[in-house]
Amino acid sequence: MSAPFIPKRIVITAYPKMPDAFTEAEAMSVFFHQCGIEAPVGSLYDEDLRSRVKQGEFDMLIAVGGDGSVLRAGHLCAPSNVPILGVNLGRLGFLIQIDRKEWRDYFKRLLNGEAWIENRMMLRVEHLRAGEQIGVSLALNEAVVGRGQNLRPVRLSAFVDTRELTSYVADGLIAATATGSTAYALAAGGPILPPELRNILLVPIAPHLSVDRAVVLSEGATVGIMVKSENAVFSVDGQPPAPLMEDDKVRVTAAEVTTQFVRFGDPGYFYRNITMHINENSSGFPR
C-alpha cells in the first residue's frame, strides 16, 4: 500500500446520461466547500473541463457514474497522472469502491488522510496497415479484435514478440489487462487476475476448432494480432468499433502511463468486491 493521499485541488465529473449524476455531484461540491475546498462540477465530456485536467489544474478527479464513466476518466486522467475516485450510481462497479449512499463517510476519511493510491496497468494499442500506423489509443480494460455485424467468425493469427503463438477461427480475440480480466475477458471465460498484476491476458471469444484457453503473458510482451479475413473490426474499452482490412495488424503493449485510483482500507477490497458481485449474480439460480 502506498503513502496516505490527501487531495487539495478536486474536480467532480458527472456522466450526463445517468439520472441524478449531476444532483449527486453538486451535493459533493457543497460538502467540499463546507470543508474549505472548492471542487467544481462538470460533465465528463466538457472540453473546457477536460483541458483543465490535462493541464494539471487538479490533483484528483471524482467520477460520478458507473464503470463506464471510470473507464473514460481513466483515458483522460492517466496521461496527466491525476488520480480517480469513483462513486457508483450504476449497476456493477468492479472499478468502484464507493456506493452513492456512502460517499460522505468516505470523503471524510479522504480528508483525514485514510486514502491511498492504487496504480493499474494500461495497454497501448496500435492499428497498423502495411506497416504504417493508422491510430493509437490507450486501454484500461481491453482491446478486442472480432467479427463485425457479419455472423461468420474471423480468422486471426496471434504473435508474441514477433513469434507466432497460434491461429484462431473465432468470434474474436481479447487482449486485456488485469483490470480487464473482470470485464469482457471474464464473460468470455478468462481467469480473474489481481489488479496489481502487470500482465497481458489473451482470451479467445467463441473459438471454433481453435485453442480455447486463455494465455497470460508478461508485462514486457508485445502482442500482434494479424487479421486474416475481411469482416473484422476492433474496439478499445468498449468504444465504437473501427473496421479492419485483411492483413491489418493490431499491436498491443504495456503503456508507459498507468491509471491511478484512490482507494480505502486494505488491498483485499478487490476480492470482497468481486465476491459480492458473484454472489449477487448467482443468487437467482437454484443451488
Strands 84-88 and 115-129, sheet pairing: unpaired
**pLDDT for the residue numbered 286:** 39
Asked whether residue 201 is assigned to any structural domain, the reply reads: yes
Q: Which of 31-35, 119-123, 138-142, 219-223 has the lowest mean pLDDT?
A: 219-223
**pLDDT for the residue numbered 266:** 81
Asked whether residue 4 is assigned to any structural domain, the reply reads: no
Q: What is the DSSP string of 81-114?
A: T--EEEEE-SS--SS--EETTTHHHHHHHHHTT-
The verdict on 135 and 86 lying in the same domain is: no
Q: Are the C-beta atoms of residues 221 and 161 closer than 8 Å to each other?
A: yes
Phi, psi of 39 (to 5 degrees): -130, 95
The verdict on 131 and 90 lying in the same domain is: no
The CA distance from 153 to 146, in Å, is 8
Q: Which residues are catalytically annotated?
A: 67
* Rg of the chain, C-alpha, whole Å: 20
Average pLDDT over residues 136-154: 94
Q: Which helix (H) or strand (E) is 25 found in, with range?
A: helix 21-34
The verdict on 137 and 249 lying in the same domain is: yes
pTM > 0.85: yes or no = yes
**Half-sphere exposure of 78 toward its Cβ, with a 13 Å CA cutoff?**
22
Q: Which of 118-122, 207-211, 222-226 has the lowest mean pLDDT?
A: 207-211
Asked whether residue 59 is assigned to any structural domain, the reply reads: yes
The verdict on 249 and 168 lying in the same domain is: yes
Average pLDDT over residues 136-161: 95
The set of cell numbers assigned to 59 is 490533483
Q: Are the C-beta atoms of residues 252 and 144 closer than 8 Å to each other?
A: no
**pLDDT for the residue numbered 61:** 98
Q: Is the pLDDT of residue 99 over 60?
A: yes
Phi, psi of 67 (to 5 degrees): -60, -35
Which CATH number is 28's domain given? 3.40.50.10330
| Structure confidence at residue 270 as a pLDDT band (50, 70, 90) | confident
Average pLDDT over residues 5-12: 96
The verdict on 138 and 248 lying in the same domain is: yes
Q: Is the pLDDT of residue 247 over 50?
A: yes
Residue spans of beta strands (DSSP E) within 17-171 = 41-43, 60-65, 84-88, 98-99, 115-129, 132-139, 142-147, 154-160, 163-170
Average pLDDT over residues 183-200: 94
Amino acid at 142: E
Amino acid at 23: T
**pLDDT for the residue numbered 101:** 93
Average pLDDT over residues 223-234: 95
User: Helix, strand or coil for residue 179?
Assistant: helix
The verdict on 89 and 36 lying in the same domain is: yes
**pLDDT for the residue numbered 255:** 97
Determine the structural domain holding residue 149 and report its residue range: 122-256
The set of cell numbers assigned to 152 is 461468420
The verdict on 29 and 95 lying in the same domain is: yes
Average pLDDT over residues 230-246: 95
The verdict on 244 and 274 lying in the same domain is: no
Bridge partner list, 249: 128, 226
The verdict on 63 and 143 lying in the same domain is: no
The verdict on 55 and 142 lying in the same domain is: no
The CA distance from 222 to 219, in Å, is 9
The verdict on 126 and 252 lying in the same domain is: yes
User: Helix, strand or coil for residue 178?
Assistant: coil
Q: Is the pLDDT of residue 285 over 50?
A: no
**pLDDT for the residue numbered 75:** 97
| Structure confidence at residue 174 as a pLDDT band (50, 70, 90) | very high
Q: Is the pLDDT of residue 282 over 60?
A: no
The tally of domains found in the chain comes to: 2
Asked whether residue 160 is assigned to any structural domain, the reply reads: yes
Q: Is the pLDDT of residue 273 over 80?
A: no
Q: Are the C-beta atoms of residues 10 and 60 closer than 8 Å to each other?
A: yes
Strands 41-43 and 10-14, sheet pairing: parallel
Which CATH number is 137's domain given? 2.60.200.30
Q: Which helix (H) or strand (E) is 74 found in, with range?
A: helix 67-77
Asked whether residue 54 is assigned to any structural domain, the reply reads: yes
Average pLDDT over residues 165-178: 97
Asked whether residue 214 is assigned to any structural domain, the reply reads: yes
Strands 115-129 and 249-264, sheet pairing: antiparallel
The verdict on 102 and 126 lying in the same domain is: no
Asked whether residue 5 is assigned to any structural domain, the reply reads: no
The set of cell numbers assigned to 203 is 482470451
Asked whether residue 94 is assigned to any structural domain, the reply reads: yes
